Amino acid sequence: MNLKRVFWILFLLNLLNYIDRQVLYAVFPLLQHDLSLSDRQLGLLASVFMLVYMCYAPVVGFFAARTPRRYWMGASAILWSAATLACGLVKNFAGLLVARGATGAGEAGFTTLAQPFLAEHFPKEKRATILALFSLALPAGAALGYVLGGILGAQIGWRAAFGWVGVPGIFLGWLAIRFLQEPAGRTQVSSKPGWRSYKQFLHHKPFIWICLAHAMITFMMGGFSAWMPTYFTRYLGFNVQQAGFIFGCCVVMSGAVGTYAGGKWADALLTNHRDAYFRVMRFGIWGALLAGIAGLFAPATWISVLCIGLAVAFLFLPLGPVAAALVAVTQAEVRAMAFAINIFVIHLLGDALSPVLIGQWSAQWGLKTAMALALVAAIPGLVFVQFACRTNEVVFLESVPLMQK
């Protein structure tokens, strides 16, 4: 199998995954005006996506462990792209909720499988870097979502913005079905995991603590993603197009630097430190907390933007190490299920909660205070990383045994 082809098809799908996910947030003010939505309703649009996303992931993880994963990834890309197109056609809040839920289902089917599928094509010594490179699609796609959403929304309307970003995923979904293949040895596995295989992860302490730490990172990242463009318009004096462009630039530049640096740093530390992945996670969480608070309460606009950009970089720093750690502590046959559980946990406790909570807190105390409260999730995140480090005796063990039906 051509590894470059595998990487680029998955990377481009991941890029569109985040473009289609984030474009909604860039047009929040336009949606609010046209459909007469409250802050709470805007938060619900973000949260319903994540609720469907996290609940559907375990279903995909189970069936994909028993059938070729390329079909699931390709069909999922087609589904979320069609749902994104539908977002531009709805007439009211209820229709938008349904369309965003369908988008969540499609993206869950891809994201659950893409990272373990890609990681299994590469040796362990390169996984953090490869997964970090793959994760560069997150800041790049998010930034493009903000920028395209802001520009297209301002120029031709929010409905057309959804239409323009929804089309390419249909073609890439077909490419995934047509060209992706399982890594060598995958199709030779004779035994398949049953539903009971999910239960054994409840006793896998390193896996649990990694998921919980990842959830706290996701809580902060989800709050920033959903509300920072609106924060820029309310507190820093930018219009919708400017806010989308500036925050998009922060995400793509800071996110790319943080993601790539985290993967390279973790792989470099791995030669001498068993806890390399956890060291990078810890550093990233501390940095996000301190830089984020500084950005929210900075005395000048340029200082605020600079500090928020640094906070974004720190939030992206652990992405490669987290994925590599999850791959390292799980067995190939149940890896899709492991990532499905991780997706369920990080969104249940992370960005399924933070957008709507920030919306509610904003209505009570103002958006600045609400964003600061969201950053407090860093404290339990640091505790969970410490527990993961202490309970993970051998990070390279693929330690979860296969349980039959």
pLDDT at residue 189 tops 50: no
Nearest CA to 179 out of 9, 390, 14 is that of 9
| Better-scored residue on pLDDT, 99 or 393 | 99
Query: Which residues are within 8 A (CB) of 357 and not within 5 positions of it... i.e. 6 or more apart?
Result: 43, 223, 370, 374
Tens-place pLDDT, residues 114-142? 888 888 888 777 778 888 888 888 778 87
Q: What is the DSSP string of 187-206?
A: GG------TTHHHHGGG-HH
| Better-scored residue on pLDDT, 199 or 227 | 227
Alpha helices, DSSP H only, in 202-346?
A: 205-235, 240-269, 276-296, 301-316, 319-328, 335-346
Helix axes 69-87, 3-26, angle to 10 degrees: 20
d(CA 176, CA 229): 33
- Output the pLDDT for position 399: 39
- Output the pLDDT for position 402: 38
| Better-scored residue on pLDDT, 225 or 365 | 365
Nearest CA to 207 out of 110, 67, 344 is that of 344
The residue-averaged pLDDT of 206-214 equals 91
The residue-averaged pLDDT of 210-218 equals 94
User: For the chain, how many residues are written?
Assistant: 405
The residue-averaged pLDDT of 260-267 equals 89
d(CA 140, CA 64): 27
pLDDT at residue 398 tops 60: no
pLDDT at residue 253 tops 60: yes
Nearest CA to 12 out of 114, 100, 98, 112 is that of 114
Residue 252 corresponds to which tokens in the numbers above?
């793509």
- Output the pLDDT for position 405: 36
pLDDT band at residue 404 using 50, 70 and 90 as cut-offs: very low
pLDDT at residue 56 tops 70: yes
Map tokens 């407090």 to a residue: 376
Q: 67: helix, coil or strand? A: coil
Q: 7: helix, coil or strand? A: helix
Give the C-alpha distances (Å, rounded to integers) separating 153 from 27, 93, 99, 147: 6, 18, 18, 10
The residue-averaged pLDDT of 136-153 equals 81
Contact status, residue 168 vs residue 17, Cβ threshold 8 Å: no
- Output the pLDDT for position 39: 78
The residue-averaged pLDDT of 86-91 equals 87
Contact status, residue 259 vs residue 135, Cβ threshold 8 Å: yes
Q: Which amino acid is present at 54?
A: M
Q: What is the DSSP letter of 373?
A: H
Helix axes 39-64, 354-365, angle to 10 degrees: 170
pLDDT band at residue 396 using 50, 70 and 90 as cut-offs: very low
Query: Residue 23 CB: number of other CB atoms within 10 A?
Result: 30
pLDDT band at residue 397 using 50, 70 and 90 as cut-offs: very low
pLDDT band at residue 38 using 50, 70 and 90 as cut-offs: confident
pLDDT at residue 106 tops 80: yes
Tens-place pLDDT, residues 316-346? 999 889 988 888 887 777 777 888 888 888 8
pLDDT at residue 291 tops 80: yes
pLDDT at residue 378 tops 90: yes
pLDDT at residue 90 tops 70: yes
- Alpha carbon 101 to its chain centroid, in Å, reads 16
pLDDT at residue 37 tops 60: yes
- Of 3.40.50.10800, 3.40.50.620, 3.90.950.20, 1.20.1250.20, the CATH number of 3-182+191-391 is 1.20.1250.20
Q: What is the DSSP string of 102-166?
A: HHHHHHHHHHHHHHHHHHTTS-GGGHHHHHHHHHTHHHHHHHHHHHHHHHHHHHH-HHHHHHHHH
pLDDT at residue 13 tops 90: yes
pLDDT band at residue 288 using 50, 70 and 90 as cut-offs: very high
pLDDT at residue 401 tops 60: no
- Output the pLDDT for position 151: 83
The residue-averaged pLDDT of 292-308 equals 92
